Amino acid sequence: MKIAVTGATGFIGGAIAAAAQAQGWDVVRFARRHGPGLTYWDLMGLPPGQMPAVDAVIHAAAHVADWGAARMFYRTNVLGTRAVAEAYPTTRLVHISSSSVYPWWEPCTNRGEEDVAVRHLNAYASSKALADVEARRHRNAVVLRPHGVYGPGDRTLLPRLISNVRHGRLLTVGHAGIRHQLTNVENLTEAALAACQSDARGAINVADAEPVELGTVLRQALAVTGHEGVGISYIPEPAAMALAGISEAVALASGRAPRLTRYAVSQLGKDRTYRLDRLREELGIEPISTTLSDAGKWLEHGA
């Protein structure tokens, strides 16, 4: 099988491309830079003169951040998705979306694949929701919605967690019993490759086999990264949301990114668990459970 992967030098795109190659698939790696084995394509510009013929295209490229100019998110995530869909109008399209498309103002408890919310807390979530809709307009598309992707190559989730340790203490949001259903990048790569060969349409949630409590996963992450003695303090979600609002106001005035955003509070401070029926039944994926046993190695090697 021959596939194309956008964002092939990124965390998710790179993992998907490597997994496909390991299965013996022929992989076209689209990237926004030149290099051996890469096909240059800046999704905000024109596509390559002649698009390689493939059996499926996995669209993993995205601008991911809590804060930034709305124009950049829209051009990269929404118009970029449109460009991929137009470049491959009939080819199987597997779009990597996000659980952030769901309503931020309420807990997700075993949430099914509902339609995207119409209001969002930041430009990233808004652009991912619009891109999700854009992708589903394609005649042969499936959209995967993971939550909290982690694993080798993670440059956001665990690195941000560890960077928040100050003076022997980790300050976080919510409470220890909040339940999250994170997504091991291995589960997402398997789902993406299965989707290339599936007839499934619409949106499919992707996550680990079962939820984990926030306190448990934080304690595990600290332990495997050499921070066993670090204490954990929780800011109640309403208070954290108020602090984030102040932080964002200061950021707008100063031009510096805020240390805490309302988006981050909304994603961390409420239950986020998801139904995986479609993942299991239509893509044939039995996801592995959440594991951080090798997290120290990921961070040490910057993998």
CB 162, CB 107: distance < 8 Å:
no
**What CATH number is given to the structural domain containing 244?**
3.40.50.720
Look over the chain and give the mean of its residue pLDDT values, rounded to a whole number: 92
Q: Is the pLDDT of residue 9 over 90?
A: yes
Q: Which domain holds residue 193?
A: 2-301
Q: Is the pLDDT of residue 61 over 90?
A: yes
Looking at the chain, the whole-number percentage of residues with pLDDT higher than 70 is: 97
Choose the weakest-confidence range: 37-51, 156-170, 237-251, 276-290: 156-170
pLDDT band at 297 (very low <50, low <70, confident <90, very high): low
Other residues' Cβ atoms within 10 Å of the Cβ of residue 132 = 24
Distance CA(144)–CA(132), nearest Å, equals 9
Distance CA(37)–CA(31), nearest Å, equals 10
pLDDT of residue 298: 62
What are 67-92's pLDDT values in tens digits?
Answer: 999 999 999 999 999 999 999 999 99
Distance CA(19)–CA(29), nearest Å, equals 12
Burial class (CB in 10 A: 0-12, 13-18, 19+), 28: buried
pLDDT band at 299 (very low <50, low <70, confident <90, very high): low
Strand partners, 204: 144
Q: Is the pLDDT of residue 301 over 80?
A: no
For residues 171-205, one letter each, b for 16 or more C-beta atoms within 10 angstroms of the residue's C-beta and e for the rest, the string is: ebbbeeebbbbbbbbbbbbbbbbbbbebebeebbb
What are 194-211's pLDDT values in tens digits?
Answer: 999 999 999 999 999 999
pLDDT of residue 16: 97
Distance CA(240)–CA(297), nearest Å, equals 31
pLDDT of residue 154: 82
User: In the 3-class helix/strand/coil scheme, how is the chain assigned residue by residue?
Assistant: CEEEEECCCCHHHHHHHHHHHHCCCEEEEEECCCCCCEEECCCCCCCCCCCCCCCEEEECCCCCCCCCCHHHHHHHHHHHHHHHHHHCCCCEEEEECCHHHCCCCCCEEEECCCCCCCCCCCHHHHHHHHHHHHHHCCCCEEEEEECCEECCCCCCHHHHHHHCEECCEEEEECCCCCEECCEEHHHHHHHHHHHHCCCCCEEEEECCCCCEEHHHHHHHHHHHCCCCCCEEEEECHHHHHHHHHHHHHHHHHHCCCCCCCHHHHHHHCCCEEECCHHHHHCCCCCCCCCCCCCHHHHHHHCC
Distance CA(100)–CA(210), nearest Å, equals 19
Distance CA(66)–CA(184), nearest Å, equals 21
Q: Is the pLDDT of residue 303 over 60?
A: no
Is beta strand 179-180 parallel, antiparallel or unpaired with respect to 212-213?
A: antiparallel
Other residues' Cβ atoms within 10 Å of the Cβ of residue 130 = 20
pLDDT band at 187 (very low <50, low <70, confident <90, very high): very high
pLDDT band at 274 (very low <50, low <70, confident <90, very high): very high
> Number of structural domains, the chain?
1
CB 265, CB 241: distance < 8 Å:
yes
